[in-house]
Homo-oligomer: A and B are copies of this chain.
Amino acid sequence: MTADPALLPEAYSSTTLSIGDFTTEAGIDIPGAQLRLFAFYDPADAPADHTGSDSPLSPADVVDRPVILIEHALTGDGNAVDWWPGIIGPGLALDTTRYLVLCANCLGGCQGSTGPSSEHPDGGRWGSRFPALSIRDLVVAEKQLLVDVLGIERLRAVIGASMGGARVLEWSLMYPGMVEAALPVAVSARASAWQIGMQSAQIRFITTDPDWQGGDYHGTGRIPARGLGQARRIAHLTYRGELEFDERFGTDPQEGENPYGPYWSPDQRFSVESYLDRQAEKLVGRFDAGSYVILTDALNRHDVGRGRGGMNRALGSSEVPTMVAGVDTDILYPYHQQEHLSRNLGDFIGLSKITSPTGHDGFLTETRQMSLILEKFLTKAELLARR
């Protein structure tokens, strides 16, 4: 496979690239794996309100720019400007007039990268034949894409939150020579038992749905919508802070419904129930249940210490300057987990707290605070790159 920067996508668009044959950490082959990659870049003089897709630049114009790799969260994808609004663009924290910003849909996903819903080389969909993935597998796949396919050898920064943050930590431990600086956000050195409990329960909701059909539901006309919806309801409650939820919904009944009636009824809901129903429906419409299982299981397997002499030894061995950020009201990755990273990382360069009623999703909702952290981080990263 020959590295070719001209394979980079046009500005603010995506391309699907083969990364060749992939072998998982546990030894299973995925022949001809593909990743869908987005690239975000603008001319140096692009105005602040530029929205991107009509860039006069070609990929060849930007290959010499410092590269920022964004790592998306569980149900995110490569189109980072979509799920991280206000962060990526001309003059924004991830400044597309200065950087080549890349984001790939992860292996195992369902937004253009090879996953359980993809066609299997032997016919049909992968389904239950799709192997388990570790966070490290996701990182190896990205490395195959960036180095082997695109010929990118250096990353100014790798940045990500939640499952993205887990990949950031693994990038810094697996390929320290490529990563100039790392910013894991709202994540921990390994899955906690509580996370595994919540995540495993969600996997069970899906895999015990009769429509799961052992994972081979693709093309049968039935999908495990009920199980995936159940998983999303619970997951969303771990992503969102109870303070923000209460401000928005309180005990309000859903308009036209009465949850205080003489009998419990599924049609008489509180406003927050209706909201969660909508979240569930939206995810079922856009996300493959098989990908949800594979990636949630990858989060369960997340442990920087595995095979490296334990968690703190692994963190201590890190050679990449790493800044850490978290959200004060996060119940999924509580802030003490980021404090733990700050005490143990080998080249730690700062810890920042986002203050928010929103909980874990604060990295998405608190744009001003997140931008300050990113700007401070990239300034440091630039200084370090000049050393």
**Chain A residues in the interface with B (C-beta under 8 A):** 24, 26-28, 128, 131-132, 134, 190-198, 200-201, 203-205, 207-208, 226, 230, 233-234, 237, 240-242, 245-246, 248-251, 259-264, 266, 269-273, 275-276, 293-294, 297, 300-301, 303, 306, 331, 334
Cα A276 to Cα B202 with chains together (Å): 12
Cβ of B263 and Cβ of A196 under 8 Å apart?
no
Residue among A24, A237, A331 with max Cβ neighbours from chain B (10 Å): A237
- With contact pairs A230-B230, A331-B331 given, residues A262 and B131 touching in the complex (Cβ less than 8 Å): yes
Cβ of B196 and Cβ of A272 under 8 Å apart?
yes
- With contact pairs A201-B237, A204-B266, A226-B208 given, residues A190 and B294 touching in the complex (Cβ less than 8 Å): no
Closest chain-B Cβ to A100's Cβ sits at a distance in Å of 35
Cα A233 to Cα B27 with chains together (Å): 32
* 15 more CB-based (< 8 A) A-B contacts, given A24-B262, A196-B249, A200-B270: A26-B261, A128-B263, A192-B242, A192-B246, A194-B237, A194-B240, A194-B246, A198-B234, A201-B234, A205-B230, A207-B266, A242-B334, A260-B306, A264-B297, A331-B331
Cβ of A245 and Cβ of B194 under 8 Å apart?
yes
Return chain B residues, CB-CB under 8 Å to A191. Answer: 251
Q: How many copies does the complex hold?
A: 2
Option from B27, B131, B242, B303 in Cβ contact (under 8 Å) with A193: B242
Cα A264 to Cα B293 with chains together (Å): 8
Cβ of B251 and Cβ of A196 under 8 Å apart?
yes
> Which residue of the partner chain B has the closest CB to A249?
B193
Cβ of B250 and Cβ of A193 under 8 Å apart?
yes
Cβ of A193 and Cβ of B272 under 8 Å apart?
yes
Return chain B residues, CB-CB under 8 Å to A190. Answer: 251
Cα A259 to Cα B26 with chains together (Å): 11
Cβ of A263 and Cβ of B197 under 8 Å apart?
no
7 contacts between A and B (CB under 8 A): A190-B251, A193-B250, A200-B270, A200-B272, A242-B331, A242-B334, A251-B303
- With contact pairs A193-B246, A242-B194 given, residues A200 and B269 touching in the complex (Cβ less than 8 Å): yes
> Which residue of the partner chain B has the closest CB to A273?
B200
Option from B201, B249, B263 in Cβ contact (under 8 Å) with A28: B263
Residue among A195, A266, A273, A334 with max Cβ neighbours from chain B (10 Å): A273
Cβ of B26 and Cβ of A245 under 8 Å apart?
no
| 10 smallest beta-carbon distances between A and B, as pairs | A194-B242, A193-B249, A26-B262, A193-B245, A193-B272, A200-B273, A201-B233, A194-B245, A193-B246, A192-B246
